[in-house]
Amino acid sequence: MLEETLNNDTLNSSLQKGSARVMSEAYNESCGDWSNVSISTTQNDLIASVKRYQELSPERFEDTDLPFVIAEFGCATGAASVLPLKAIIQAVRDLAPEMPIQIFLNDLPENHHSLAIAAVTDGLTPLFDDIFIMVAGKDFTEQVFPSGTIDFAFSNMTLMILPLPPSPRTDNVFFLATPEKLQSNQGKEWVAGFNKHWTSFVTNRQKELRVNGQLFVTALIYDEPILSYQLKESNFFQDIASICLRDILKKYRLEDKLSSTLKTSVSMLKRHYTDICQKEGIHVVSAKSYDVVDCFAQEYKMTHDSRVFGKKVAQYIRGWWEHVLEGGLAYEGVDQDLIKKVSIEVFDTLPGFIAERADVYPEYYRVLSLSIDKPARQ
């Protein structure tokens, strides 16, 4: 099992562990558009957080000797960093036109940081002067920055990725918090794993923020009761794991490795996020949910071209799954040539498999837009 291999705490396994979570080099091209819809949908909440900081700490916006420090957690290759950074910088400069801005792009050390720096530099420097872009490669479940140094922290579509699977799972690419799942023993183990992960993220960000500093998070969530498109999503990714991938693994006598090739990502309920904040005494300013339009479903509705649809969705899936699939097989000791063979076959098969399911693909996904701050009392 993946877990047993990961318990072996060697340098090699910790490098592999990180590599399996980072996005592929093609993430910007294959996933950037999809992510950016969620960022546009939640952008007003993001800007409201900047304004809130200024209302609580007007003197901070007068002190232009000290740069305004923004930290993004889970930047991947940067395509989905530009839109939120533009919005934050513009909101800061509307309030303090002379404010220098320092930006830290955080992700795991194994991330393709040079791609992130290039994408963010290309996206921001033609628009703004006096901005300084840096990389911070560290696991964000630990403290990444010195205490009291960050003005504004944000993280898009990242908090759902757990470091390890809390228990083995073979039925779906993700852990999706459907009512049945939450009642099962497996569900309870995944909720406990999520709680641990989110607690370490949110408590470390509290340490790093300046007084009245803001943390803005978006994440995929499920609802109670479950929404109709979430049911479609659950069925769609169940078919990918339990039909498409399983059949290919079976062909290569690797069916028992299925669990290790699946994502450790979770869609929890909104209350799972807010309950931890309450437990840790962390102030939630707002926790809103949005139906975000899936850009691939929207395009298919106009074109009815299931072949192109299948190709694009398969590329997007490859952007976040390729390393996990290949890394999982590597943990299991599978030979590198065989891993490549399986991976090529999966990503060659997916476009057709998805094209056949174009009419049952979910039109939306659900996003939590969470604003947190650090009140003066702490």
Ligand X SMILES: C[S@@+](CC[C@H](N)C(=O)[O-])C[C@H]1O[C@@H](n2cnc3c(N)ncnc32)[C@H](O)[C@@H]1O
* Site of interaction with ligand X (CB under 6 A): 21-23, 31, 35, 74-76, 80, 106-108, 111, 139-141, 156-158, 161, 320
Burial class (CB in 10 A: 0-12, 13-18, 19+), 164: middle
Give whichever of 254 and 364 is closer to ligand X, judged by the CB atom: 364
Nearest distance, CB of residue 352 and ligand X, angstroms: 25
Q: 212 — phi, psi (to 5°)?
A: 70, 0
Q: Which of 328, 258, 262 is nearest to 5 (CA)?
A: 328
Nearest distance, CB of residue 155 and ligand X, angstroms: 7
List the structure tokens of 284. 């939630």
Give whichever of 83 and 182 is closer to ligand X, judged by the CB atom: 83
Nearest distance, CB of residue 9 and ligand X, angstroms: 17
Burial class (CB in 10 A: 0-12, 13-18, 19+), 9: exposed
Nearest distance, CB of residue 197 and ligand X, angstroms: 8
Give whichever of 22 and 269 is closer to ligand X, judged by the CB atom: 22
Give whichever of 140 and 365 is closer to ligand X, judged by the CB atom: 140
Task: Give the integer Cα–Cα distance in Å for 326 and 60.
Answer: 47
Nearest distance, CB of residue 76 and ligand X, angstroms: 3
3-state secondary structure of 358: helix
Nearest distance, CB of residue 162 and ligand X, angstroms: 8
Residue showing the smallest CB distance to ligand X in the complex: 74
219 strand-pairing partners: 368
* CA distances to 103, 162, 203, 369 from 71, in Å: 6, 20, 15, 17
Give whichever of 56 and 118 is closer to ligand X, judged by the CB atom: 118
Give whichever of 139 and 223 is closer to ligand X, judged by the CB atom: 139
What DSSP line would sit under 175-239, residue for residue?
A: EE--HHHHHSHHHHHHHHHHHHHHHHHHHHHHHHEEEEEEEEEEEEEE-SSPPHHHHHHHHHHHH
